[in-house]
Amino acid sequence: MRMIGIGFALLLAGAAGAQQAADSVSPEAAGAGVFGGMGAAVDAAFAAKARGEPVIAADWMVATANPHAAQVGAKVLAEGGTAADALVAVQVILGLVEPQSSGMGGGAFLVWYDAQSGRVTTLDGRETAPLAATPRLFQDAAGEPLGFFDAVVGGRSVGVPGTPALLQQAHERWGRAEWSGLITPAIDLAQDGFSVSPRLAALVADDAERLGSSPDTAAYFLPGGVPVAEGAILKNAAYAESLRKFAADGAAPFYTGDIAAQIVAAVQGAGNPGVLSAVDLAIYSVKERDAVCGPYRGHEVCGMGPPSSGAVAVGQILGLLEGYDLSAGPMDADVRRLIGDASRLAFADRGRYLADSDYVPVPVKGLLDPDYLAERAKLLAGDDALPEVTAGTPTFDHAVIWADHAAIEMPSTSHISIVDSYGNVASMTTTIENGFGSRVMAAGFLLNNELTDFSFRSHVDGVPVANRVEPGKRPRSSMSPTIVMKDGEPILAVGSPGGSRIIGFTVQAIIAHLDWGMNVQQAAAMPHAVNRFGTYDLESGTVAADMAPALEALGYEVNARDLTSGLHLIAIGAELQGGADPRREGIALGE
């Protein structure tokens, strides 16, 4: 790729395609005015997002959920760093400026395309259950499931964080820049303070009661008992100190050192205490896993396999749709019927079969087998919504029976897409699960509530649930970091937050780009229509909600609601095109 411009030169392309600016979702607490004074590149990126246009670059690009993080990632890439280097710098900033979504107390899945080898691989930095955890972790004395927030708030829901170890491993494998220098900008920002964005201020105010349940968390987010205000300068000396240790010693302090001790003390000393121990942290490891890929329209769509359900479900939905014509576009009711019922079929299989494959056999090949999908796709051939959807019977390498279940998965999280000047591509989805996680802080960062992604029931009618709690197990996820390949080369990096709706958000963006010809900014902004279990969720206040009568006529129940995705896409070809979801604060920057 050739270099163009000086600094962060951004050429803004015209918006071709079917989506008109009037159909775009208005930005949620994000715009050049909110992050004014950060430079011409940031202003230009927000202006492009507002117009529904992608950011264009020739050499490298980063798309992420906050302009502070995007700027730091852009600087690393401009100075010759790799996508792995930028990933480290971006994540440690995100953990400071959008702490409700991700950070050093959480976990992540990374899908990586290595330009030198031409190989797509994945790193599993998912949290693990403590060794003392039992299948009844989230049940009361009578064996009944706890209420969701009764399980979430406090130490009980905290799993071993994986993000620090994943960042270190990614840098060791694919980084070029000096490690400590990647972390210095976040240390400085934590020490000097950053301006609280409208989005963060609103989320703190909405969750003030739960944030007040932990003294350290309350002191940080509710100083003097009052939620931090928009525009206030928020400093985090404890986080800066943790990052200094990270810069000096890598991930070790988080797993065997002083930070590990603070994590254990916070979990065990919290209200609703957990069973996480020093041993649990010490034995944690990131796992390299084979990418899970499925064909679609002459492409290979590659993502994260178990313990994520993302790549399997995305691959199933696209595979079920392969033989159907979607060219009528997103406002056609029959197209939405096909996509919605394909999603329902995938979610039925997901609910029965998907879990941590280190603990239970998961029929990944069977679920994505073309013959299996072709047979299931026949169910889509009618004219009306499917009246009932059940799991299929994919080929297993041996017999197994699991019970159906649907674990609760809340829509927080963050996604990062990066392409470097060497041709490497990183697509990473990162999370602490629910907004503000467990609401417990240690060493300046929030701890996850990832264990509530397990099923609260261990058995249904005497049949075991695949995604039940077990010691050391990783909970099922819907995070779907994705790289789309064409003829062995990457052409798109995409992913989103959004709980189990991540799968639908990611599928829609891929179809919007490949089937409907939308540029990546249009794909990020287009109104959402998502169906997981039968009810069609339509994004309120958008043209998607206008489809309600047509979908009801096909037999669906519909529900107009907010659907706050956080899609970040980079299209890769003769040039790079970046798009950032207008529902959040992110931007794409490139050169």
What positions carry a catalytic annotation? 413
* Cα(517)–Cα(391) distance, integer angstroms: 32
DSSP, residue by residue, 174-236: H--S-HHHHHHHHHHHHHH-EEPPHHHHHHHHHTHHHHTTSHHHHHHHSGGGSPPPTT-EE--
Residue 271 CB-half CA count within 13 A: 13
* Cα(212)–Cα(222) distance, integer angstroms: 7
Residues 6+ apart with CB under 8 A from 338: 321, 324, 326, 380
* Cα(8)–Cα(45) distance, integer angstroms: 10
Residue 305 CA: distances (Å) to CA of 308, 310, 483, 501: 5, 7, 13, 17
CA 573 to chain CA centroid, Å, is: 24
Contact 5, 589 (CB under 8 A): no
State the first-to-last Cα distance of the chain, in angstroms, to the nearest integer.
10
Contact 441, 148 (CB under 8 A): no
Burial 385-400 (b: 16+ CB within 10 A, else e): bbeebebbebeeeeee
Residue 456 CA: distances (Å) to CA of 8, 136, 186: 48, 7, 37
Residues 6+ apart with CB under 8 A from 410: 433, 434, 435, 499
* Cα(11)–Cα(507) distance, integer angstroms: 28
